[in-house]
Amino acid sequence: MKITDIFKRQEKTFSFEFFPPKDEISAVDFGINVGRLMKLDPSFVTVTYGAGGSNQDRTFALVDYLQNKIGMPTAAHYTCVNASREKIAADMQELESIGIENLMLLRGDPPKGQTEFVVAENGFKYASELIEFVKEYFSFCRAGAFYVEKHVEAESAEADLQHLKKKVDAGAELLVSQLFFDNKKYFEFVDKARKIGINSRFIPGIIPITAYKQIERFTKMSGSSIPPELALALEEHQDDAKKSYQVGLDYTIKQCRELLENGAPGIHFYTLNKSRAAVDIFESLDTKKYFAEKEVI
C-alpha cells in the first residue's frame, strides 16, 4: 500500500525508521525490538540507506522482509550518492520487482572519509532531481526530507525553503523532518512553507535524548538546537542513567502531545533500532484519539 493511500484512512499517522543490522548479534537485537514495535501497529516504516549505498543490499532485503513477510507498508530510503541514472533505474526496477511502493528520496551524505558531496557521473546533485527522475519513469509514492532549522549546507533559511519547494514541485508527495526538539520552530517552519505554496504533509521526525552525551551528536546530525531547559536537566542527571532516561522520555512525550494537539499530521520516530523509548512514548499517547482510522465510504 502506498503511504498516500494510508493518508486517506488516517488523518494522523505514526511510523518508525530502522536501519539494517550490521552483523548477526545486532540482527538478534533488531528482531526482538522490531517485534515489540510492530505490536504498536504503526502506519508504515522506513529503512535507511548507508552512505554511498554501502548497505544497499541489506536495505533492499530488509524492506522486502518487512513488507512481504510481516505485511507492513515500508519505504526504502534511496540517495544520489554514487548513483548514475542507469544505476538508479536498475535499482528502481529491482524494488518494483519485490513489490515496494514507497521511497524516501534523498541527496544523501558524503561517504565515510569524504567531507563534500560529489556528483556521480551521469548522476544527480540534488534530491529534487532524483525525485523528478523517479516520478517520470516509475510509479512509487515519493517522500522527501526537510530540516526545521535549515540544512547545515544551506545559505539561509529562505534558500532552504526554496530548495524544499523544488522537491515538492518535482514530485515529492509527503515530507518528513529531520529530528528536532523545539516545537515552536516546527510550527513556524510549516507556516513559512505554506506561505510560499508548499501544501504537503509535514510529518515531524522525533527522537528522545535520553543521555547528556547524546546532545552534541544529535545537534551535529540534524542542525537542530536543544532547548536550554532540556540540556540543563540532562546535564544535572548525566551520571544517573535511569533519571536521564526519564527526563528525555518525559520531554519527548510532551513534545509529541503538543505537536499532535496543534495540528501536526503524525509522528515519525527515529528508533535507532531500539524499542524501549518508542514503546514507552507511544503507550503514553492516546492512540485511539490521535491515530484512529477513518471510516472509508
Q: What is the pLDDT of residues 62-82, one digit of tens each?
A: 999 999 999 999 999 999 998
Please give the pLDDT value at position 64.
96
State the average pLDDT over residues 3-29: 91
DSSP characters for 46-74? EE---GGGTTHHHHHHHHHIIIIIS---E
Please give the pLDDT value at position 294.
63
* Cα dihedral 130/71/62/12 (nearest 10): 50
Q: Domain for residue 147, yes or no?
A: yes
* CB-based burial label for 250 (10 Å; 0-12, 13-18, 19+): middle
* Cα dihedral 223/228/229/230 (nearest 10): 30
Nearest to 154 by CA among 168, 144, 164: 164
* CB-based burial label for 170 (10 Å; 0-12, 13-18, 19+): buried
Identify the band that residue 296 occupies on the pLDDT scale cut at 50, 70 and 90: very low
Instruction: Between 3 and 119, name the one with better pLDDT.
Output: 3
Q: Domain for residue 297, yes or no?
A: no
Please give the pLDDT value at position 51.
57
* Number of alpha carbons in the 13 Å side-chain half-sphere of residue 144: 29
Output the pTM of the full model.
0.93
State the average pLDDT over residues 169-185: 96
Q: Domain for residue 180, yes or no?
A: yes
Identify the band that residue 52 occupies on the pLDDT scale cut at 50, 70 and 90: low
DSSP code at position 10: B
Whether the predicted pLDDT of 142 surpasses 60:
yes
| Interatomic CA distance for residues 193 and 79, integer angstroms | 24
Q: Domain for residue 173, yes or no?
A: yes
* CB-based burial label for 51 (10 Å; 0-12, 13-18, 19+): middle
State the average pLDDT over residues 176-189: 96
Whether the predicted pLDDT of 265 surpasses 80:
yes
Q: pLDDT of 147-162, one tens digit each?
A: 999 888 888 989 999 9
Q: Domain for residue 289, yes or no?
A: no
CATH code of the domain in which 26 resides: 3.20.20.220
Please give the pLDDT value at position 49.
84
Please give the pLDDT value at position 23.
81
Dihedral of CA 122/125/131/135: which sign? negative
| Interatomic CA distance for residues 156 and 252, integer angstroms | 28
E strand or H helix that includes residue 266: strand 266-270
Whether the predicted pLDDT of 134 surpasses 70:
yes
Residues in the chain: 297
Amino acid in position 166: K
First to last CA, the chain: 18
* Number of alpha carbons in the 13 Å side-chain half-sphere of residue 110: 9
Instruction: Between 285 and 172, name the one with better pLDDT.
Output: 172
Instruction: Between 220 and 70, name the one with better pLDDT.
Output: 70
* CB-based burial label for 9 (10 Å; 0-12, 13-18, 19+): middle
| Mean pLDDT for the chain overall | 91
Three cell numbers, residue 141: 509514492
Number of domains forming the structure of the chain: 1
Q: Domain for residue 179, yes or no?
A: yes
Q: Domain for residue 296, yes or no?
A: no
Catalytic residue numbers, as ranges: 17
Domain that holds residue 244: 3-281
Whether the predicted pLDDT of 221 surpasses 80:
no
Least confident of 97-101, 193-197, 281-285: 281-285
Are β-strands 266-270 and 202-206 bridged in parallel, bridged antiparallel, or unpaired? Answer: parallel
Q: pLDDT of 23-48, one tens digit each?
A: 888 888 989 998 999 999 999 999 99
State the average pLDDT over residues 262-285: 92
Yes or no: say if 202 and 172 are a contact pair by the CB < 8 Å rule: no
Q: φ, ψ for residue 72 (rounded to 5)?
A: -105, 125
Yes or no: say if 161 and 126 are a contact pair by the CB < 8 Å rule: no
Three cell numbers, residue 176: 518528513
Whether the predicted pLDDT of 297 surpasses 50:
no
Residue that has been written with the C-alpha cell 524499542 in this structure: 275
Please give the pLDDT value at position 125.
92
Q: Domain for residue 214, yes or no?
A: yes
DSSP three-state, residue 15: strand
